[in-house]
Amino acid sequence: MTALVIAEHDNLSLKPSTLNTVTAAMQLSSDVHILVVGSNAQAVAQAAAKISGVGKVIHADAPQYADQLVENIAAQILVLAPQYSHILAPSTAGGKNVLPRVAALLDVSQISDITRVISQDTFERPIYAGNAIATVQSTDAIKVITVRTTGFDAASAQDGNAAIEVIAAVSDQGKSVFKGRELTKSDRPELTAAKIIVSGGRGLGSAEKYHEVMEPLADKMGAALGASRAAVDAGYVPNDYQVGQTGKIVAPTLYVAIGISGAIQHLAGMKDSKVIVAINKDPEAPIFSVADYGLAADLFEAVPELIKELG
């Protein structure tokens, strides 16, 4: 019974979502290995080896792994898969893309987005955008699992000293070619890893107002910037700002919702935050039903005042 965690990384650094996934894996097996598939990703393998409790890091390195093309990554995972009882990846764009392929080729089902481990084969996962929680039991020999990172604490990334085993890479599957990437540049913390998130909605009225009002607040609080789907659809900010069932699922220590009404799909993405603050001029807005602290006020007055009060 050994569990394999697929590391999430950009060839330079290990993404924090891997640490939450390791915690889930540890609840399934005392023997956890990490697989790093990348190109010139030695730093990632070394970081993975330092995760507390990890037994071994397996590193496959080749140019065809540089851009995480899914056919190649899946082929590499499949080489190792039969040796494991559980294969886990974070429920990120990368994990969601690759793991169902692995499951299908092993002829097993995938258990998506688990939020809790009940036993070796039984898990909790949200369905209907988090409006219901299902307890599901897998009957397959190998459990292929994506992990909702907000459901598990991060494993310590410092105390470990696992050996790194380098394995041969699988040849390029030749199905796809990487063309380019447009990543949103930001000096702020990453949404899914931030301790504080300030999120703006349709109430801001325009892209200009979003930047004018939200950015100084985020700077003052050292927060990541988020947005509701309505704000993203209205073009205030790029899609990767979106918090919600179809965007990012977040659970920071403090979530500040500004001018967000609180549609079900938005609530599904942030309701596990430790403390929720809502500022909205409509006292009947559904966001107040999940907020620990609600302030019914005009955000254009309240936010600048909040920045001032925070000193």
Partner 1 sequence: MKILVAVKRVIDYNVKVRVKADQTGVETANVKMSMNPFDEIAVEEAVRLKEAGIATEVIAVSVGVAQCQETLRTAMAIGADRGILIETNEEIQPLAVAKILKALIDKEQPVLVILGKQAIDDDSNQTGQMLAALANMSQATFASKVVIADGHAQVTREVDGGLETIEVTLPAVITSDLRLNEPRYVTLPNIMKAKKKTLDTIKPEDLGVDISPRIKTLKVEEPPKRSAGVMVADVKALVDKLKNEAKVI
Q: Does 171 bind partner 1 (CB under 8 A)?
A: no
Number of residues forming the site for partner 1 (CB under 8 A):
87
Please write down the HEC assignment for all residues of 200-261.
Answer: ECHHHCCHHHHHHHHHHHHHHHCCEEEECHHHHHCCCCCHHHEECCCCECCCCCEEEEECCC
Are 60 and 35 in contact, with CB atoms under 8 Å apart? yes
Q: Does 70 bind partner 1 (CB under 8 A)?
A: yes
Query: What track of x and - describes contact with partner 1 for positions 221 through 250 (by CB under 8 A)?
Result: x-------x--------xxx----xx-x--
Query: Is the CB of 42 or the CB of 109 nearer to partner 1?
Result: 109
Q: How far is CA 15 from the centre of its chain?
A: 9
Sequence-distant (6+) residues with CB within 8 A of 174 are none
Q: Of 18, 138, 150, 228, which lies in the binding site for partner 1, with binding defined by CB under 8 A?
A: 138
Region at 277 (left for phi over 0; alpha for psi -120 to 50; beta for the rest)? beta
Which range binds partner 1 by CB under 8 A, 46-54, 55-63, 131-139, 202-210?
131-139
Q: Does 284 bind partner 1 (CB under 8 A)?
A: no
Are 27 and 117 in contact, with CB atoms under 8 Å apart? yes
Q: Of 35, 69, 77, 214, which lies in the binding site for partner 1, with binding defined by CB under 8 A?
A: 69
Query: Is the CB of 56 or the CB of 271 nearer to partner 1?
Result: 271
Q: Of 35, 45, 111, 117, which lies in the binding site for partner 1, with binding defined by CB under 8 A?
A: 111
Q: Does 132 bind partner 1 (CB under 8 A)?
A: yes
Within 173-202, the residues that bind partner 1 by CB under 8 A are 174-184, 190, 192, 196
- Least Cβ distance, residue 174 to partner 1 (angstroms): 7
Query: Is the CB of 48 or the CB of 267 nearer to partner 1?
Result: 267
Q: How far is CA 268 from the centre of its chain?
A: 14
Residue whose token pair is 């704000």: 231
